[in-house]
Chain A
Amino acid sequence: MPELRELYDAILNGDHKTSAAVTREAIDAGIEPMELVSGYMVPAMDEVGKRFECEDYFIPELLLSARAMKAALELLRPLLAASGAKSAGRVVIGTVKGDLHDIGKNIVGAMLEGGGFEVIDLGADVAPQKFIAAIKERNPQLICLSALLTVTMPSMKTTIEAFKEAGVRDGVKVIVGGAPVTAEFAREIGADGFGENATAAVALARQLLQAA
């Protein structure tokens, strides 16, 4: 019987080899995949988020923990799908058209995944039509738009307007984030919320999807 606390510790310490090994042992021992996710992986990533917020962890530690979490999740994903287990919600995330910066988006995506969400990452420089296609094909509840540059922030507005024109805006919640983005800007462009950082984005996602 594997010591499951080691999974929590491996993710917190960014040890992807141990997180994968413990997960394999747990699967072999017949432990329910959802127990691993909600009992150890989500709490570990919550703790990572807390340590990041209080400046105990920085970007290298956060990415390392995300890698360890993903190593475990890759092994569990087929089992979760087969069992019909429900995620906290399905999210489509991307950096908007014209912006190639993706580290902030990657961190938010990883923290959402660590928070139990199913995350579909469209990458950087994503055109509105690509978001719309993902909404139609994957049926997400939440869209996360990222931008690092003030000059690409207008692409967030363009994207949301394209959602309206395509008739898909009312079926999803939209949150925005990135260094120059403000809550005021989010309101102006008709987003449902603004995540100041990755942990705030996860909290907002949970709040929006619970209310929906």
Chain B
Amino acid sequence: MNGRERILASIQGQPTGRLPLMPITMMFAADQIGARYLDYVTDYRVLAEGQMRTAEKFGFDYVSAISDPAREPADLGAAIEFFPDQPPAVIEDRALLADKTRLAALRVPDPLAGRRMSDRVHGVALLKQRAGGDLLVEGWVEGPCAEAADLRGINTLMVDFYDDPAFVDDLFEFTVAMELEFAKAQIQAGADIIGVGDAAASLVGPKFYQGHVWAYEKKLIQGIHDLGAKVRLHICGNTRRILEGMGRTGADIVDLDYLAPVAAARAAMGPRQVLLGNLEPVGVLRNGSPEIVRDTVAACHRDAGENYIAGAGCEVCRDTPEANLRALCEYAHVSR
């Protein structure tokens, strides 16, 4: 059974031989090939090389086109700051939708127009070509709340939930339409699964998650399923109060950040939901020892029981000792 087959079997509730392994790597992968992160996020060939080399070296079951959240905003015309060796960032005090009336005139960009979204689509195609069916290929889109925060400015969006909830819904509607177009292009390029990153959703609390965010996450996930791909939902931050809703989005894999206990997620989502995670990336995976990493992933596995995929709670930090990441990977390689 190869990595792609293993993850797909896990999603279908079938035997996997050993634990599937899906840690998120971005800057860590760029460092593996000695690439500047600016090159990793602007040249899909660098990204693909970093992903392939990292997956081969550590025995991952997948490769991913995840890189940064500024691709869609860049193609929409938002102000982005690029750094030589760290992720590009949206400049919030020049937010594209600082004036919310501009939403009405915003149009979904063509993901194949040769800009930053296209670069990711090309990355997916190259990963598919190089992985040759041995590794699962993951595309990536932003979730409705994360994308809305990038377009409106996260500080402003948080207050919009109270001041103008209808606008928030309109903005989410736009982001879902855009992300579905982006997902479609990546699926057509060969993505088996689409990661949906909805970081800002952990900030809003259960009232607004249930009242606004959840329905749009569900719509996006259903849309991706209709396009023929699986979905991994990752919400950075403390999701303890929204776990039950995350489990009802229909995501094939719920990827937990470390602040949400695996046991709580299992209790909230039931035994059949595939859970992924959730070692603390800094405190455990980067700063701990191989023994601590092994003990921690074993505890996550124990709390999750069946239907579990090993991984960190969020991105593997760039300066994580290789011995620590190996400890995580070796646990997955020998565990059922």
Contacts and interface: CB of A to CB of B under 8 A. Distances in A.
Given A98-B83, A149-B86, A182 B159 contact: no
B158 A63 contact: yes
Contact of A60 (B87, B205, B282): B205
A59 B204 contact: yes
A100 to B, nearest CB: 4
B203 A150 contact: no
Interface of A: 14, 55, 57-61, 63-64, 67, 98, 100-103, 106, 123-125, 149-152, 179-180, 182, 184
A182 B282 CA distance: 9
A94 to B, nearest CB: 14
Contact of B204 (A58, A64, A106): A58
A106 B155 contact: yes
Given A55-B241, A151-B27, A182-B283, A64 B162 contact: yes
B25 to A, nearest CB: 13
A103 B155 contact: yes
A59 B89 contact: no
Nearest to A15: B162
7 contacts: A58-B208, A102-B92, A124-B92, A150-B281, A150-B318, A180-B282, A184-B287
A63 B283 contact: no
Given A14-B162, A151-B27, A152-B86, A61 B205 contact: yes
Interface of B: 27, 81, 83, 85-87, 89-93, 154-155, 158-159, 161-162, 203-205, 207-208, 237, 240-241, 281-283, 286-287, 317-319
Nearest to B240: A55
**Which of A60, A151, A179, A184 has the most chain B CB within a 10 Å cutoff?**
A60
A60 B162 contact: yes
Nearest to B205: A58
B282 A59 contact: no
Contacts of B237: 179
A150 B205 contact: no
B65 to A, nearest CB: 20
Contacts of A67: 159
Contacts of A123: 93
Given A64-B159, A102-B92, A151 B318 contact: yes
A63 B86 contact: no
Contacts of B207: 58
A63 B159 contact: yes
B158 A60 contact: yes
A63 B155 contact: yes
B296 to A, nearest CB: 16
Contact of A151 (B86, B205, B241): B86
B89 A101 contact: yes
B30 to A, nearest CB: 11
